[in-house]
A and B are shown apart, each in its own frame.
Chain A
């Protein structure tokens, strides 16, 4: 079946369409990453972990001298405070960690000496009137950074690669890796996109097809439902539903064991809010298509063969509307991802862990300070996925359109 499709005319048409192939590759990469994240490639804890100074620029970009000195001072300060608690020195030092970096396993005297040296350089530097504008101070700053670096245990080759990867896109205000947060959000976005689009298309198709096929009161109820829902501004409905769920805890028992789900903290409110509005699109389209299909002779022929009405609806009419479901799925997939970003930005979407919307909402403060790495990363991650999907949907439409060569 698959092999036959690959040799078919539509497959050849598809592979001739270069941007579509690129888009397919990009989407596959995103999917692979999402699966990797799902399997534990990146955990939520890792995205919340402090891996370095706050607002570090990506691609090993340099910060202002003042900021660099301050970051060093912060490390010196923390180590110094730990050294002041000799009773449980190991534990105190163990608490100081930046991602994979741990305080070096040296005797306390050595650490103390390094810290003191550091403070000396720091004091000199702080006295200079304009730290940022004076290039002659750079060697001293670098020396300070080397000193603070020595406080930490050296990383093995692989570990330092991992650290470089995490620092690739810089850090946010709390020193968390933007790269990891962006990558983890791929999983969140695709999860929300797939689940929302699937449920919406399923509900929409079933309701739309039944409305058109059975007519009468079924049709009236469905039309009433979707005209009512679509008369409410979509964002308002989303906000209301998201609010209604926030903080809710569901309690039920499964196999005799009491279970409580903290609904407000899961993605369930997002799914419900998005599905409640998104099913209208496919419902309308499928209803129209079913109205058209049910007039066709093969539906009458199926009745004349003796099939029941429900069977005809499911086996004869719905497969003929499958292309519309596919197109609607990809449209809603994109729509859901974008809406999730908006909802999270408003603080109504994802509650735990990162998502592109949360990254964008967190970067509001940073943008004012001229730090664009977080908002940039979130936007590019989303843009590439959405663009690839749009290109692919377009190409698929061309491929499945027999009139288009």
Chain B
């Protein structure tokens, strides 16, 4: 028996048990990255179906769950790509939504009611503080789908900007404008809801 067979024997795929073993996990993984329950459900289903078709490609190098998650991750990035498709060039000076409510139009100074103020997030660990975690997730879900896609992708794996832009097929300048807008709005939402 060669090495490959030994490893494959150690981690056999058990598709009959996939739903019980991994469906909740994969769904929770998806819902923190895609702000739509129905779409998240579809993605989990598509992942299982794609995995069934690709079972022969499983080399047993990783766990079943890691393998399924990798398939799911690619499917999630596909949905991000669809959201960013056909994106026009954005500029920091666009007067469209997302920035203008925070700053005076002409000189770009903060509106006083939107000034960042201390609101007690310095020592919060979102993995321990459930209440804060909930608010943070809610605030992320409020971001427009396109911004959330780019923002999430940036923080998901420690991918470089070049990789994110290439995978989502967006220009670097659009990337910066979106990240800026997403962060301004996320920060303001946290300040509003956590103070």
Chains A and B come from one and the same complex: no
Give A residues with C-beta under 8 Å from B: none
- Residues on B facing A (Cβ under 8 Å): none
